[in-house]
RNA sequence: GCCAGGAUGGCCGAACGGUAAGGCGCACGCCUGGAAAGCGUGUUCCCUUUGGGAUUCUGGGUUCAAAUCCCAGUCCUGGCGCCA
């Protein structure tokens, strides 16, 4: 949530920022509601002040036993009460509407964010690992074909048990998934992160705290209710990213500077509806309804947040460097920022298996495996995340940041494609081998369960 | 799931329906040669800030007036039950 006082003091700055985002917000109406609300609030406070004085008088009249004066004062108080009710009913209604609308106003981009309408205007900062590529993209089998050949990814049966967009990992595929999670978390623990294993369902209140609600209800899976129906604060949703439980973990709390910076990492499965996202660009496991992810969440003092963003990006990149996977860093433009973010870097790994138009000249394509974002105090305001700058001072909103560290399926895609060998096997990156019990190559295995489908080989 | 008890500031903890005690921590000031002690101030939110309003878990209700009484809910603790 943006600061209301900014809206009052410098509405034009807010307007410009929202225009740069391409956000559709009726600012004038918002300002008008705010002004009207303040008038009513002032009037209500005044009336309450009067009544408080009368009530106080009644107390002393009762003590003195002045019956007549007391009855008179009670009459006066009753009249004030009725008036207060009228004024405050209107003020509450407006206040609620204001709050609701404020929840739909996106974050103001940082000044350093490049101007632009959409992803075409994102700026590529740099690339890593392209100097000495180990493969030629033309000769790479896409992960969904390879996964089937090696019998490590089973999309069909995932669709059978659960639905399209869900898949089984089998054998070395499943083992690779577990290995990657442990591997990533070990890296980040070295970087000073404290592990968390959060609850997977989260409340509407939490979803609102990080910015998924109210605008993006359709992206998430709701438990026990239709997405179209009204929801309550306590209703549950399946975690769309560990950012939600972890950021909201300290909701309505006040931290001390000694606690900051606070760095948490959490592995969770993530669930997203991804409505309408089907086609050649999403074949295989690059866009699925359930995927695992290690998430990095930072709570910092405001003046540190932009330095922290650079470090956070580096902490996420470290995973790809150790996996020897080529990648690039994008700086998202104003129009491509997510709702809550003031500045975002994307990390895109190179997946050479499918040649796409917007991929690099070497062929293949880019896959987003992490977004590192500074939300400044946007989530802190919504979730009530504060800290005390000095022990004796009053509490202020802190800044939150997060980055994936990293999204598992796409990293797996990159490994299966970039570390693929000519004979159709996959070399496990050296740093990951200890997590696979020393195994160096994924060779696939005899098909499991094929006989049940009538395709089994007879001995 | 059932029964009982509980929720008050950063922390602890009082309050016959009538101004929300007191203590601790922390910071600053006074005092001091310096410190401790002592004294003072501050340590939620909102508004139009020399002022006012709200705030005793949340939401309703009774009342001129609710931390206090009533109803509903959330969470915590204990006991019983169930359970991987």
Give A50-80 pLDDT, tens digit per residue: 888 888 888 777 777 777 788 888 888 888 8
SS (H, E, C) chain A: CCCHHHHHHCHHHHHHHHHHHCCCCCHHHHHHHHHHHHHHHHHHHHHHHHHHHHHHHHHHHHHHCCHHHHHHHHHHHHHHHHHHHHHHHHHHHHHHHHHHHHCCCCCCCCCCCCCCCCHHHCEEEEEECCCCCCCCHHHCCCHHHHHHHCCCEEHHHHHHHCCCCCCEECCHHHHHHHHHHHHHHHHHHHCCCEEECCCCEEEHHHHHHHCCCCCCHHHCCECCCCCCCCCCCCCEEECCCCHHHHHHCCCCEEEEHHHCCEEEEEEEEEECCCCCCCCHHHCCCCCCCEEEEEEEEEEECHHHHHHHHHHHHHHHHHHHHHCCCCEEEEECCHHHCCCCCCEEEEEEEEECCCCCCCCCCCCCEEEEEEEEEEEECHHHHHHCEEEECCCCCCCEECEEEEEEEEEHHHHHHHHHHHCECCCCCEECCHHHHHHHCCCCEECCCCCCCCHHHCCCCCC
Average pLDDT in chain A: 89
Nearest residue, CA→C1' of B41: A392
Q: How many CA atoms lie within 13 A of A108 on its CB side?
A: 17
Check: CB of residue A323 under 8 Å from CB of residue A431.
yes
The predicted structure's pLDDT at residue A80: 86
Indicate whether A247 pLDDT > 80: yes
CA→C1' distance for A87 and B9 (Å): 30
Check: CB of residue A284 under 8 Å from CB of residue A142.
yes
Nearest nucleotide, CA A81 to C1'? B64
Q: Which of A158-167, A177-186, A316-325 has the lowest mean pLDDT?
A: A158-167
CA→C1' distance for A251 and B78 (Å): 28
Indicate whether A31 pLDDT > 80: yes
CA→C1' distance for A392 and B18 (Å): 34
CA→C1' distance for A52 and B67 (Å): 18
- Rounded to whole angstroms, the Cα distance separating A455 from A459 reads 13
CA→C1' distance for A52 and B18 (Å): 12
Most confident of A355-369, A381-395, A436-450: A355-369
Nearest nucleotide, CA A40 to C1'? B47
Q: Which of A84-98, A128-142, A444-458 has the lowest mean pLDDT?
A: A444-458
Indicate whether A159 pLDDT > 50: yes
Report the catalytic residues of A.
272, 287, 368, 371, 410
Indicate whether A230 pLDDT > 50: yes
Strands of the sheet containing A123-128, edge to edge, are A123-128, A327-331, A343-351, A365-376, A399-407, A290-300, A262-271, A194-196
Nearest nucleotide, CA A46 to C1'? B52
The predicted structure's pLDDT at residue A459: 40
Q: How large is the ipTM? A: 0.81
Give A274-304 pLDDT, tens digit per residue: 766 667 777 899 999 999 999 999 999 888 9
Protein residues with beta carbon less than 7 Å from any atom of strand B = A 4-5, 8, 38-39, 41-42, 44-46, 48-49, 51-56, 58-59, 62-63, 74, 77-78, 81, 234, 254, 386, 388, 390-395
Q: How many CA atoms lie within 13 A of A418 on its CB side?
A: 26
CA→C1' distance for A404 and B56 (Å): 41
Q: What are phi and psi of A6, to 5 degrees?
A: -65, -40
What integer is the mean pLDDT of A219-227? 83
User: Max alpha carbon distance in chain A (Å)?
Assistant: 107
Strand B positions within 7 A of protein Cβ atoms: 10, 18-19, 25-28, 42-48, 51-54, 64-65, 74
Nearest nucleotide, CA A4 to C1'? B46
The predicted structure's pLDDT at residue A390: 72
The predicted structure's pLDDT at residue A454: 52
Nearest nucleotide, CA A70 to C1'? B64
């Amino acid at each position: 949530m943006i600061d209301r006082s900014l809206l009052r003091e410098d509405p034009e700055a807010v307007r410009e920022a929202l225009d740069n985002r391409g956000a559709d917000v009726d600012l004038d109406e918002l300002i008008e509601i705010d002004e009207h609300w303040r008038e009513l609030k002032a009037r209500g406070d005044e009336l309450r002040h009067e009544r408080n004085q009368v009530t106080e008088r009644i107390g002393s009249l009762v003590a003195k036993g002045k019956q007549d004066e007391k009855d008179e004062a009670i009459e006066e108080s009753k009249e004030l009460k009725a008036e207060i009710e009228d004024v405050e009913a209107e003020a509450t209604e407006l206040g609620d509407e204001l709050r609701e609308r404020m929840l739909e106003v996106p974050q103001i981009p940082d000044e350093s964010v490049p101007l632009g309408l959409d992803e075409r205007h994102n700026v590529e900062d740099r690339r890593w690992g392209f100097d000495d590529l180990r493969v030629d993209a033309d000769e790479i089998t896409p992960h969904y074909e390879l996964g089937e050949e090696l019998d490590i990814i089973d999309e069909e049966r995932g669709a059978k048990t659960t639905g399209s967009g869900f898949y089984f990992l089998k054998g070395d595929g499943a083992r690779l998934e577990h290995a990657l999670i442990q591997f990533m978390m070990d890296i980040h623990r070295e970087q000073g992160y404290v592990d968390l294993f959060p609850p997977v369902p989260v409340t509407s209140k939490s979803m609102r705290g990080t910015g998924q609600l109210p605008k993006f209800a359709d992206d998430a899976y709701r438990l026990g209710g239709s997405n179209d129906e009204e929801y309550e604060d306590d209703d549950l949703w399946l975690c769309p990213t560990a950012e939600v439980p972890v950021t909201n973990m300290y909701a309505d709390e006040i931290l001390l500077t000694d606690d900051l910076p606070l760095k948490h990492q959490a592995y969770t499965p993530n669930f997203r509806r991804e409505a309408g996202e089907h086609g050649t660009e999403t074949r295989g496991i690059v866009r699925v309804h359930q995927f695992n992810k290690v998430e990095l969440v930072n709570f910092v003092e405001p003046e540190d947040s932009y330095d922290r963003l650079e470090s956070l990006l580096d902490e996420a990149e470290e995973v790809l460097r150790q996996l020897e996977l080529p990648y690039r860093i994008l700086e998202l433009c104003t129009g491509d920022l997510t709702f809550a973010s003031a500045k975002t870097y994307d990390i895109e790994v190179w997946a050479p298996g499918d040649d796409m138009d917007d991929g690099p000249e070497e062929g293949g394509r880019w896959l987003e495996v992490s977004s590192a974002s500074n939300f400044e105090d946007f989530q802190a305001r919504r979730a009530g995340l504060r800290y005390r700058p000095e022990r004796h001072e009053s509490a202020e909103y802190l800044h939150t940041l997060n980055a994936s560290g990293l999204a598992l399926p796409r990293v797996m895609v990159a490994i299966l494609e970039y570390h693929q060998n000519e004979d159709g096997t996959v070399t496990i990156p050296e740093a990951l081998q200890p997590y696979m019990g020393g195994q160096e190559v994924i060779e696939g295995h005899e098909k499991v369960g094929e006989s049940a489908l009538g395709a089994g080989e007879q001995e």
